[in-house]
Amino acid sequence: MKNPKDNFIVERIKSIKFSFRGIWFLVTTENSIKAQLFIGFIITLAGFYFDLNPMEWIIQTLAIGLVLVAESLNTGIEKLADFMHQDYHEKIGFIKDVSAGASGFASIISLIIAGIIYIPKIVILF
């Protein structure tokens, strides 16, 4: 419940605190987020190795962010679905599969972006 005495700045500070708490929960409890962060770290190292230009850095960073956001939303939807209906239910399964599909789309798009950025750079090495 919103405290009527809180002003705009206090509200924004609270929102930032909740955001960081959510990030902390994801990073410390969700294996999918840990895996995506590790992959993002490796790709970032590859970016330094291959000396990406600023536009490639921007696109790569957006792709990494896209996957992390999709994984985070997928996790939230799955947790909510599990909370609402603990037992197996066909409709809940459908909702969770569609949510996972969003993460899948983000991952596929990110792989395509990585291919566009890195395949020409790797080919030059050989």
Rounded to two decimals, what is the model's pTM?
A: 0.86
Q: Which of 30, 24, 22, 112 is nearest to 66 (CA)?
A: 112
* Range of lowest pLDDT (39-48, 67-76, 84-93, 97-106): 84-93
Give me the residue label for tokens 């969700």: 30
Residue 2 has pLDDT above 70, yes or no: no
Note the pLDDT tens digit of each residue in 37-58: 999 999 999 999 999 999 999 9
The band of 4, judged by pLDDT with boundaries at 50, 70 and 90, is low
Asked whether the CA dihedral 39, 45, 51, 55 is positive or negative, the reply is: positive
Domains, the chain, with CATH or none: 31-125 (1.10.287.3610)
The mean pLDDT value for 62-70 works out to 97
The band of 1, judged by pLDDT with boundaries at 50, 70 and 90, is low
3-state secondary structure of 20: helix
